[in-house]
């Protein structure tokens, strides 16, 4: 797929990498959006080629690599024309044959590692053709393998041993991770139990608060209904009293108007009587002048005067009675006005009480709102705790799935260890064959004479090695008090990270930097050696093996 990719023109030109080609698949096939998103989020992969390798592995595990490849080939004019040259393999007709070959991979269940492998660099390949057996059961090198290729066999053997050591280290790391996951699972269970207890207590508090709110609402409703009933009764009595007072006031007003009209009529009559009296006095004066002439008329006039006096007395009595009635009515009016004033004061008091009740109602409503807000907050807390529980359950399920994956990886690693043990047995057999080859090399001593110049060089190397060994014997053994950090990784020593001496150079290292063992000339048994001395001694031993 990398054959024939167009080069990038300029710094700001379009990206034309294999990863950019694979990113376009999700636009046409939404099934590829999940794997592209997961590849983008990988923290260990940094290059475009590593992302492309991870994408291809995920497509194999998804069993849709052939479908994605076929979609790319079908859309040559839309997608591939911008990324590939005309003579590229993806633009030719042979790409259809490759897509047909990829269909068979959709049946295979793949479980490939993406996170822990270094996909940015090319993976190392071991040539196992030198270890293959023939039908007779004897281990023989393949055709074209000379005695000089035994160095390659030794190198591959060392590589297998290093790989075995790395596999053992990964197994121990996985076991530690499993133990950590188990401890975290136990802690998560404890947190779940605590959160469940908190939820139960919050539910109880919520129920109690709801009961209190219901009781308060019922009491407030009862009080409000009682106050409303009292207000309605007082309003009805006030309205009835006001209607009665209005009717009484109207009647009194009518009576007053009638009395006033009567009084006005009496005053008119009094004025008429006064005028008549004046006329009578004038007539009396005239009659006194004409007493003799008109005695009969005087008598009749006296009678009339007596009658008029009686009428005046009656009118005076009526005026006094009217004045008394007016006083009584004015007293009634004052009493009614006092009653009206008392009613107005009672109305003001009732209005004040109604304002107080409205204030109490508003306060109760505020309390109800506060309780409602508290209930809403409790509900939000409960929803948050439920969401946390769901997340923790999902996390627990994911942890269980990862534990299962780790167990599967451990089983595969154990199988690899068994295979490596079998290869070690084959290596022992190769050693036997190597001893046989050494016996054959003793017969070919004549060839050694032709290699005189090589022997001189080897002697020089041996002398150099002897000098190095003498220098190593004189290596200074550093004291424990002088070293506070590891010489290689520069990590400080503690109770968990102990000090270890390298038996070759004499310096102090931690356990991780000095976990190798090698036999030294000063000791027959293998002793602890640091990583740098281990590499140096391996190189020397391999040089001496090449020389022999």
DSSP per-residue string spanning 22-66: HHTHHHH-GGGHHHHHHHHT-SS--SHHHHHHHHHHHHHHHT-HH
Q: Domain 1-123 is of which CATH architecture?
A: Up-down Bundle (1.20)
- What's the pLDDT tens digit per position in 416-429? 888 888 888 888 88
Which tokens hold the place of 485? 């950090």
Instruction: Report d(CA 351, CA 238) in Å as an integer.
Output: 12
As a whole number, mean pLDDT of residues 238-253 equals: 74
Q: Please tell me the predicted confidence (pLDDT) of residue 134.
A: 39
- What's the pLDDT tens digit per position in 142-193? 444 455 567 777 767 777 777 777 777 778 778 888 888 888 888 888 878 8
> What SS3 class is residue 501?
strand
- What's the pLDDT tens digit per position in 234-245? 778 777 777 776
SS3 content of the chain, % helix, strand, coil (to 5): 75, 5, 20
pLDDT over 50 (residue 523): yes
Q: Please tell me the predicted confidence (pLDDT) of residue 392.
A: 84
CA 159 → CA 146, 164, 166, 287, 431, distances in Å? Answer: 20, 9, 10, 177, 17
Q: What is the pTM of this model?
A: 0.28
In this structure, what are the phi and psi dihedrals at residue 81, rounded to the nearest 5 degrees? -65, -30
Which tokens hold the place of 375? 């209930």
Which tokens hold the place of 128? 């196992």
pLDDT over 70 (residue 327): yes
pLDDT over 50 (residue 339): yes
Instruction: Report d(CA 322, CA 262) in Å as an integer.
Output: 9
Q: Are strands 508-509 and 516-520 parallel, antiparallel or unpaired?
A: unpaired
pLDDT band at 449, cuts 50/70/90? Answer: low
149: DSSP letter: G
Q: Are strands 523-529 and 516-520 parallel, antiparallel or unpaired?
A: antiparallel
Tell whether domain 186-404 is in CATH 1.10.3470: no
Instruction: Report d(CA 99, CA 112) in Å as an integer.
Output: 21
CA 416 → CA 38, 111, 160, 249, 277, distances in Å? Answer: 29, 16, 11, 118, 158
Instruction: Report d(CA 262, CA 258) in Å as an integer.
Output: 6
Give the CA angle between residues 520, 525, 531 to the nearest 5°: 50
Q: Please tell me the predicted confidence (pLDDT) of residue 513.
A: 92
**Residue ranges covered by each domain of the chain:** 1-123, 186-404, 465-547
Q: Please tell me the predicted confidence (pLDDT) of residue 414.
A: 87
Instruction: Report d(CA 314, CA 269) in Å as an integer.
Output: 12
Rounded to 10 degrees, what is the CA torsion of 276, 280, 282, 284? 180
Roughly what angle, to the nearest 10 degrees, separates helices 65-74 and 48-62? Answer: 120
Region 465-547: CATH code: 3.30.40.10
Q: Please tell me the predicted confidence (pLDDT) of residue 136.
A: 43
Instruction: Report d(CA 400, CA 396) in Å as an integer.
Output: 6
In sequence order, what are the residues at sequence separation of 6 or more whose Cβ sits closer than 8 angstroms to the Cβ of residue 126? 156, 159, 160
Q: Please tell me the predicted confidence (pLDDT) of residue 206.
A: 77
């Amino acid at each position: 797929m990398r054959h024939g990719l167009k080069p990038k023109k300029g710094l700001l030109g379009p990206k034309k990498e294999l990863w950019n080609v694979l990113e376009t698949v999700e636009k046409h096939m939404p099934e590829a959006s999940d794997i592209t998103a997961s590849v983008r989020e990988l923290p260990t992969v940094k290059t475009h080629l590593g992302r492309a390798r991870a994408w291809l592995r995920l497509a194999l595990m998804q069993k849709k690599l052939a479908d994605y490849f076929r979609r790319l080939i079908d859309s040559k004019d839309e997608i591939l024309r911008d990324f590939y040259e005309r003579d590229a393999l993806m633009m030719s007709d042979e790409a259809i044959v490759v897509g047909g070959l990829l269909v068979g991979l959709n049946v295979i269940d793949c479980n490939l590692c993406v996170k822990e492998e270094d996909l940015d660099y090319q993976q190392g390949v071991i040539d196992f053709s030198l270890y293959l057996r023939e039908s007779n059961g004897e281990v023989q090198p393949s055709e074209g393998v000379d005695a000089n290729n035994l160095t390659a066999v030794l190198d591959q053997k060392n590589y297998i041993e290093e790989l075995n050591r790395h596999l053992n280290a990964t197994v121990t790391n996985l076991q530690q991770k499993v133990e950590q996951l188990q401890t975290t699972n136990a802690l998560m269970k404890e947190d779940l139990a605590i959160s469940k207890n908190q939820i139960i207590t919050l539910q109880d508090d919520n129920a109690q608060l709801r009961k209190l709110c219901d009781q308060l609402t019922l009491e407030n409703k009862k009080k409000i209904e009682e106050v409303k009933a009292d207000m309605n009764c007082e309003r009805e009595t006030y309205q009835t009293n006001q209607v009665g007072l209005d009717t009484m006031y109207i009647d009194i007003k009518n009576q007053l108007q009638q009395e006033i009209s009567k009084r006005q009529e009496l005053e008119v009559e009094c004025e008429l009587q006064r005028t008549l009296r004046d006329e009578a006095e004038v007539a009396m004066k005239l009659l006194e002048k004409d007493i003799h002439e008109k005695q009969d008329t005087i008598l009749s006039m006296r009678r009339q005067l007596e009658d008029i006096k009686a009428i005046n007395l009656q009118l005076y009595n009526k005026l006094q009675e009217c004045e008394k009635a007016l006083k009584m009515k004015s007293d009634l009016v004052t009493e009614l006005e006092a009653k009206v004033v008392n009613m107005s004061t009672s109305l003001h008091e009732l209005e004040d009480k109604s304002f107080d009740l409205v204030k109490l109602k508003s306060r109760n409503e505020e309390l109800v709102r506060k309780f409602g807000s508290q209930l809403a907050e409790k509900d939000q807390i409960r929803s948050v705790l439920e969401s946390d529980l769901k997340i923790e359950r999902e996390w627990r399920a994911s942890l269980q799935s990862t534990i299962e994956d780790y167990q599967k990886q451990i089983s595969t690693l154990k199988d690899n260890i068994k295979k490596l043990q079998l290869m070690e047995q084959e290596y022992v057999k190769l050693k036997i064959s190597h001893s046989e080859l050494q016996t054959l090399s003793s017969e070919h001593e004549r060839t050694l004479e032709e290699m005189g110049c090589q022997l001189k060089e080897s002697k020089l190397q041996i002398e150099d090695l002897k000098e190095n060994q003498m220098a190593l014997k004189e290596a200074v053994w550093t004291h424990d008090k002088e070293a506070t950090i590891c010489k290689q990784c520069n990590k400080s020593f503690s109770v968990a990270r102990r000090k270890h001496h390298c038996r070759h150079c004499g310096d102090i290292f931690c356990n991780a930097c000095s976990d190798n063992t090698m036999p030294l000339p000063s000791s027959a048994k293998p002793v602890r050696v640091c990583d740098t001395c281990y590499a140096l001694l391996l190189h020397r031993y391999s040089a001496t093996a090449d020389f022999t």
